[in-house]
């Protein structure tokens, strides 16, 4: 005679199974590799109420299965992180080519439930080789340039490194052999820094070679110093627009906007480098706003004075271009809109992508007449100038960035500079025609 199972037993069954040790561990690979080299680091986090009794890593290649790493050290902790290495050093049978990596974690519960993580990987035993052009690159702080390079062997990323900043390499246009990278020397980069062409295969096998760089002056430049007088009216305007629900000392709120919000806004701008085209969207020199007077230039150092006291200091990474109130804001060149909305201290802001990480920024607008995804033409009116954000008068904040690093725009207004630094090294379709 069968014993009937009531609803309470059914509801308690999952709990009983868990208590008896039938759970499976949660396995999270923190450093998820796509390439295995000599000794590729792997970090694995395991969550299990009963701890973990075993973790193994195996690599299968051409039908042969190799145990790459194993631990039988039982952990009673609910959360455990394992750090280890897999690669040719520990598994010399591996050779260059595709493989399959499997991680298996076994619960410390009575029934030893097992979880599995797997991924196709590429085994790379040799580092790539990188060679850079032999050109002399004339630079000053804030300036951009273009370098070409050739890479042999397997690689996952390449480009130019300048200090702690990285600029991507792209295939030469038109199917020509080699790569090129538009790179920049940031306004605050130590002048002794040597740009390096690099290639990485993702397994720790990174190689670099220096570019030949000539600075007109090796010492740091003297940037223009400005004192910005903050009136009570401007203070209230900024706080009302950018911190409408804030409380407390107005000066502290203003400084927080001018520092923390500025940093966050610049991070948002920098992240737009990921929304760039893999081809040139422009074919003419960049145009400066018609009939505009520059009220501020690139990397001006601004001291903010309130009631006779200096309350803050910031660096202004762009040009303030003024014409008349609510003048039409012109696109500096052909491109695609990747931002068209308010952005903190920049007020109503537009960012136009021109390809290969080069982007222009237009801030403080009173009205925006374009949308993200729109294709714009050189000198096209995209909206009206204004004084939104951290602006004390009607003007256009115009800036440029390259792979997220803000640069001095003035060279890009010069057809001869573009010819000498860009076009003679890489074909820009239609340039000069």
Quick one: which of 424, 413, 338, 417 has its CA closest to 374?
338
The tally of domains found in the chain comes to: 3
Q: Over the stretch 258-298, which tens digit does the pLDDT of each residue have?
A: 999 999 999 999 999 999 999 999 999 999 999 999 888 89
Whether 219 is in a domain gets the answer: no
Residues 294 and 402 in one domain: yes
Structure-token pair, residue 117: 């993580």
How many angstroms separate the CA atoms of 433 and 427, rounded? 13
> What band does 7 get if pLDDT is binned at 50, 70 and 90?
low
Cβ atoms of 352 and 335 within 8 Å: the answer is yes
Residues 89 and 181 in one domain: no
Least confident of 218-227, 241-250, 325-334: 218-227
Residues 119 and 133 in one domain: no
Residues with Cβ within 8 Å of 421's Cβ and at least 6 positions away in sequence, in order, are 144, 145, 146, 411
Residues 324-346 have a mean pLDDT of 97
Residues 285 and 402 in one domain: yes
Whether 360 is in a domain gets the answer: yes
The dihedral built from the CA positions of residue 255, 259, 265 and 269, taken in this order, carries a sign that is positive
Is 14 a residue whose pLDDT tops 80?
no
Report pLDDT for 219: 47
Report pLDDT for 4: 55
How many angstroms separate the CA atoms of 46 and 80, rounded? 5
Residues 303 and 399 in one domain: yes
Residues 322 and 381 in one domain: yes
Least confident of 6-10, 64-68, 97-101, 312-316: 6-10
Residues 322 and 406 in one domain: yes
Q: What is the biggest distance separating any 2 CA atoms in the chain, rounded to whole angstroms?
A: 98
Task: Please give the DSSP secondary-structure letter assigned to residue 42.
Answer: E
Q: Which residues pair with 200 in a beta bridge?
A: 157, 206
Torsions phi, psi for 70 (to 5 deg): -155, 145
Is 217 a residue whose pLDDT tops 70?
no
Whether 430 is in a domain gets the answer: no
Q: Over the stretch 123-167, which tens digit does the pLDDT of each residue have?
A: 988 888 999 999 999 888 899 999 999 999 888 899 999 999 999
Compute the mean pLDDT over every residue in the chain, rounded to the nearest whole number.
90
Is 431 a residue whose pLDDT tops 80?
yes
Domain C-terminal end among 123, 157, 176:
123
How many angstroms separate the CA atoms of 106 and 116, rounded? 9
> What band does 395 get if pLDDT is binned at 50, 70 and 90?
very high
Report pLDDT for 204: 67
Assign residue 419 the CATH number of its domain. Answer: 2.70.70.10
Whether 1 is in a domain gets the answer: no
- Percent of the chain surpassing pLDDT 90: 72
Is 39 a residue whose pLDDT tops 60?
yes
Going edge to edge, which strands form the sheet with 26-29? 26-29, 40-47, 79-86
Assign residue 110 the CATH number of its domain. Answer: 2.60.40.150
Quick one: which of 45, 46, 48 has its CA closest to 24?
48
Q: Are strands 225-230 and 212-214 parallel, antiparallel or unpaired?
A: unpaired
Gap between the terminal Cα atoms of the chain: 94
Residues 79-107 have a mean pLDDT of 92
Give 401-415 as a DSSP string: EETTEEE-GGGGG-H
Residues 92 and 149 in one domain: no
Q: Which one has a higher pLDDT value, 18 or 94?
A: 94
Residues 361 and 336 in one domain: yes
Whether 433 is in a domain gets the answer: no
> What band does 201 get if pLDDT is binned at 50, 70 and 90?
confident
- Percent of the chain surpassing pLDDT 70: 93
Give 314-328 as a DSSP string: EEE-SEEEE-STTPE
Cβ atoms of 70 and 9 within 8 Å: the answer is no
Residues 39 and 143 in one domain: no
Cβ atoms of 185 and 195 within 8 Å: the answer is yes
Task: Please give the DSSP secondary-structure letter assigned to residue 236.
Answer: H
Q: Which domain holds residue 298?
A: 225-423
Report pLDDT for 22: 56
The dihedral region occupied by 239, where left means phi > 0, alpha psi between -120 and 50, and beta the remainder, is alpha
Instruction: Show the DSSP H helices in 230-363 as ranges.
Output: 232-242, 250-256, 262-271
Report pLDDT for 33: 85
Cβ atoms of 352 and 380 within 8 Å: the answer is no
Domain C-terminal end among 194, 214, 234:
214
Is 35 a residue whose pLDDT tops 50?
yes
Least confident of 29-38, 121-130, 234-243, 412-421: 29-38
Residues 31 and 95 in one domain: yes
Residues 108 and 154 in one domain: no
Is 170 a residue whose pLDDT tops 90?
yes
Whether 76 is in a domain gets the answer: yes
Residues with Cβ within 8 Å of 275's Cβ and at least 6 positions away in sequence, in order, are 338, 353
Q: Which one has a higher pLDDT value, 191 or 86?
A: 86
Whether 238 is in a domain gets the answer: yes
Whether 286 is in a domain gets the answer: yes
Domain C-terminal end among 214, 239, 254:
214
Burial class (CB in 10 A: 0-12, 13-18, 19+), 245: exposed
């Amino acid at each position: 005679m069968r014993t009937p199972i009531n609803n309470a037993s059914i509801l308690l069954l999952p709990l009983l199974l868990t208590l008896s040790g039938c759970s499976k561990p949660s396995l999270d690979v923190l450093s998820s590799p796509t390439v295995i080299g000599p000794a590729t680091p792997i970090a694995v986090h395991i969550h299990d109420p009963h701890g973990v009794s075993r973790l193994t890593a195996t690599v299968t290649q051409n039908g042969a299965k190799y145990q790459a790493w194993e631990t039988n050290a039982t952990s009673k902790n609910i959360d455990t992180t394992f750090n280890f290495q897999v690669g040719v050093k520990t598994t010399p049978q591996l050779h260059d080519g595709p493989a399959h990596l499997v991680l298996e974690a076994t619960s410390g519960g009575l029934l030893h439930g097992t979880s599995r993580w797997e991924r196709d990987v590429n085994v790379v035993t040799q580092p790539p080789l990188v060679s850079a052009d032999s050109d002399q690159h004339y630079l000053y702080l804030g300036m951009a340039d273009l370098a070409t390079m050739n890479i042999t062997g397997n690689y996952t990323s390449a480009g130019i490194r300048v200090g702690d900043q990285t600029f991507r390499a792209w295939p030469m246009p038109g199917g020509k052999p080699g790569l090129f990278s538009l790179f920049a020397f940031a306004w605050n980069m130590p002048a002794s820094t040597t740009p390096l062409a690099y290639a990485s295969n993702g397994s720790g096998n990174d190689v670099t070679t220096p570019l030949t760089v000539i600075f007109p002056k090796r010492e740091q430049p003297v940037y223009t110093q400005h004192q910005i007088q903050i009136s009570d009216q401007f203070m209230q305007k900024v706080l009302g627009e950018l911190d409408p629900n804030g409380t407390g000392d107005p000066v502290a709120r203003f400084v927080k906007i001018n520092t923390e919000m500025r940093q966050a806004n610049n991070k948002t701008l920098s992240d737009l480098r990921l929304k760039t085209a893999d081809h040139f969207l422009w074919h003419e020199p960049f145009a400066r706003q018609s009939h505009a007077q520059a009220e501020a230039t690139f990397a001006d150092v601004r001291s903010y004075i309130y009631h006779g006291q200096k309350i803050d200091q910031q660096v202004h990474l762009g040009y303030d271009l003024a014409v008349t109130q609510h003048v039409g804001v012109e696109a500096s060149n052909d491109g695609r809109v990747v931002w068209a909305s308010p952005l903190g201290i920049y007020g109503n802001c537009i960012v136009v992508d021109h390809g290969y990480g080069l982007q222009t920024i237009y801030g403080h607008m009173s009205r925006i007449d374009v949308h993200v995804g729109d294709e714009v033409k050189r000198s096209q009116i995209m909206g009206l100038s204004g004084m939104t954000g951290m602006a004390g008068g009607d003007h256009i904040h115009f800036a440029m960035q390259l792979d997220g690093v803000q640069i001095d725009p003035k060279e890009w207004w010069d057809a001869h500079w573009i010819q000498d630094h860009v076009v003679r090294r890489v074909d820009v379709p239609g340039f000069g025609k």
